Every structure is written in structure tokens, then in C-alpha cells.
Structure 1
């Protein structure tokens, strides 16, 4: 059976599928999530199966507010409610210790913590409320591929393997939420995955130091949060990152080499190489906000372009503010490779 696309006035229908143990993708302000009843281990197992996701990779649990979280956690971190007050609903995920047996191990990845988030998307908050249970919601894509930012991306990846997708239109931010580890109040909070809520924003609220986990999780290691694997978000075509001053060099290289290259960049950068590129996906403007919003959709569009491409050249941005989250995703999509006259160089 083909995936059903539920409209905004069909939230109850989508919730009924969740209640029956089915999987329904839902929109958030970041990317689309693959929803299942977080209290139904069999439904959650289906999430892993259809995504092809490693079972040691824990899932984020989506809730309607912190009151719902309190039913599951063993102890609240002193900073938790202040962060919730400032950033929920929004793109901030908090990792907290849970009560024994609050969730099945299939949700926690065998850990004694769970990551909670309240998305800033009215349709999804309505879906959770209608379902009457918190929902797991990893990105609604095949594991390791670029995350989905439209309902059609979800349909492309899953075809007939899930019950439906609640269509909320294109997402606003374009990369997944910031994940903050609050599981041990004796240690400073640590960002395990950067997102739109930046280190500076968190420190302003917490009035304390926020650490950033720089460890790259190998394929053999169990991550504490989603998106921590060394290579992730990758299209099938090789990706190389291009810094701002390299685009003329890319154009010269393509003029003398028989490569079908796809370009993913803002108007200024893409204009320097457009004549030599086989395909161009242009960000709406040169800002980091536009780049972040367009990264995953651009990777998908170029990956699926007709005729096939040999390589994708993607614009890099300074690693500051939102650029930290953008580069975190791009580095993993590119396996940390930069353009150097087609001699790839690790970052």
C-alpha cells in the first residue's frame, strides 16, 4: 500500500495509525521525523527496520511539553526547566536520566537516559496529543542519507514501508535540533550535536560554560545521541567541500576535466562556476540561514538529478553561530573531504 499523505485537517487519521502501531512521518521546524508510539516496543522496532538504522543508535522522544517529560525522568537537571522555558517549543533536545523501565531498551539504545524534545510545529504537537503518547521521531530518511525537509522526500525514501506522512510543507531550519546532554549534573552541560540553538545562546541562558563534544563516533561505537557517526547524511555521489576562495579554481578545473559536477552553493559562489557545472542547486541567498535550510534538499536534488553526476561540490561556511551546525552536517556528508584540484583533503 502506498504511503498516505495526510493534510493539516487529517491529524486524527494520522494519530489513529500511530495508535494501531503504525509509523507516520511528521513535520518539525528542523526536518521530518519518523513517528511511532514511544511506549510500543514493536512499533519502535519497525522504525529501526524501515530506516536500516543501527539498533545501538538511541532515539529522540517528542513530547507536548515538560510536564510530559516529568513522568519519565528520574531526576531533573537544575538547568532543565530554565532551558525549556527559553527554547521549547523549539530545536533543542535535552538528554536526561530516566526512571528504570520508563522506556524499552529499543528506545534508549541500552542507555539509562533519553533525549526529549518539544518541536515547534503545531501539527505535530496536535498529532502527539491526539495519539495520547510521546513519539519517537528520528529523521524520516533511510539511515545515513540526507535528512528529509519535505513530505515528498519522505515518500521518496519509504515508498510503501510506512503508513503515512503528515504534510506540513517545507521545514524552516533544515538541520536537526541541537542535542544537549544534561544527564549528569556534576558535569557541565555538553552539546552532542550542534543545531540552530547555538553554544552562545545556551550559555546566555545557563550563565555557565557549555561544552561541545568534538569526538567523532566510529561505526563500531555506540553513540549517545543521533547524528554522531563519523559519516552521515551522505548522498550516493561523492561530496567535496569548497571554501569561499576556491570557486574560481573549481571552475578552471572543470573546464579542463571531463567531470559531470553538481554545485550546491549560494548565488555568488555558484555564479563563478555555473558555466562549467552539469547541475546547480542554488541556495536562496548567500546567508548561512539559507544554506542551512537548503543543504539537505540540495544534496537530495543533485543526487537524484537526471543523467547522473560524478561529484558534488558544496559551499563551506565559517564555523560560527549556525555555521557550526551546517558544517557538522556537511563534513559528515563529505566524509570530511575538501576540494584540492580533485585531490581530496581531510579536514
Structure 2
């Protein structure tokens, strides 16, 4: 999960130059179905299982939204992989059976599960030894759950905050550590700020002054605008792919296990399909040779792998122009100052 506080800018020296340039965002979510010959493929990945708000809320507050999200995933019938933070399974250091059952729900819906660490630690803050220990701590429940379900051991690891190391040595050491424990890194190419929208969605309260109707209208607007915004983000990263690689890379999409995505999952899948994409598994996407490129980014943030590769090629600031930004009214509602 992205932190509910301002993040460092992606590459300060680049975005300071282009921050005031107008957006070149592409088609809206209701654009006509595309009929070109690009092979558009996409992977659905969901972070912060079993539920993004855990462990800061009681299990009972998470169950309804969790069930809606899992039901939507099963109805959609597309490949999906969820990344687990085992710390969210616990209360006062004890694993809660109802939270462990939430992981089994994902497996019953046909999803795969990967490791997102135990405590969602920031590699850049805690250093490599503590980070590696937290990865292993994040599989103590995951491995038995998968084994009891007749599934393979966890094969994919997703960096919390997408922060992957401030030095080439740390990256190489982490890669060796992960490979030694049977993991591959699950990158993200189509990044977004769904965590900001989700925060705004939660903060739309039903006040005691009788404004429930207004709250429902605002939530409906958030859902509608969110799906459109996610479509524009996907268009942007498709253009980044063709500009950098010369073709449409299989996109690896990141969303989080939260109430907003539970309430819009079907619409998100429909929007992506309308754009001509077909959903594939992570294994298929990662066979694309682009993913053999080195991650050259050593900055403080957690950008898309497309941007990491572009930075490694020393692309100019103009290359990064046009990424859709979260609207100011959503930022205000979420009480977040910057992306």
C-alpha cells in the first residue's frame, strides 16, 4: 500500500522541469473500442492482502468489502494475483483465523498469491538485512496456506512502495536472495494512485445532518471518475511502452485490496477490455524480453518499470510528460497534499 502521506517526486530533476506542462492524457474510459493490430495484454495484480486497512481496523470492518472484492474477481474470470502482507493477519502478534480464511477465499476464487513481506517495510529506510528478514517472515503463513490448498509455494515477490534499492549492489544482493528462496520480482509497469482515490472514498461520510443522499452521489462520482482516470493512466503507459520499446509491452497493473476496488472491479475489467486488452497471467507477461532489462533507477521513489528503463537510457524530461494526475478535488477529499 502506498503511504497516506506525500511521496517523494519520482525523479526530482525531471519532474520539476515538466510539472507545469499540460497533460497529454489519452482517451477517456468511454472511448470507442480499439480495432488496431496491437497485441494488448495485461496482468491484474492486487497488493496488501488480505485487506489494505488491516490491521488498523477490526476484522469485522474488513470482511464485507473483502467478500465483495473476491466475488467480483471470481465473476470477472480473469487471471489475478494477490500479494500478501502477513502482518495484516495478526492482532497483538497473534494470527487471526478469520483473516487467514480471507486468503483461502482468494485461492477459492482462482487467484494466485505472492509475498509482499510481513510488515510492508520500506527497503530504503530499514536496509537490506532487515528487509530480507521481513520477506521470510512474510511467508510463515503463506507457504502452509498454499500447501494445504494443493498450490505451489509462493513464486513472486512485490516490493512494498515499489522501492527496490538505492544502489546497484543492494539490488543485486536482493535479487540473489530472492532467487535463493524461489522468488522472482513482480514489477509494475502501469502504476497509479488508487490508494489516494480509495482514501477519499472512505472519507465520504454519512453525516448526522441527513446528507446520506449527497454522500451516495459523491461516492458514485468517485467511482465513475476513478475508472475513467485509471483508463487514462493505462493509455499513458501504453504510449510510454511504444515510445520506449516500439511495441505494446504486456502491462502489469497494480491495484490494492480496498473498498473502492471492491466496488469498481467489474467496471475496471470492462474498461480494460474495451481498450482491446486481454488479461493474462504474470508468467506469460514476464516472458516478454523487455523484462530482462536492468532496473537502473536508484532514486528514492517507486516508479513504473517503464520509467526505470527510460531513466536507464537517459531519456529527456520530455519523455515523461503527460502522466494523468489525481484531480485536486480528490486530493482534498483524501486530505493528501501530493502524489
TM-score, normalized by the shorter chain, greater than 0.5: no
TM-score by length of 2: 0.29
TM-score by length of 1: 0.28
Q: Which has the higher helix share?
A: 2
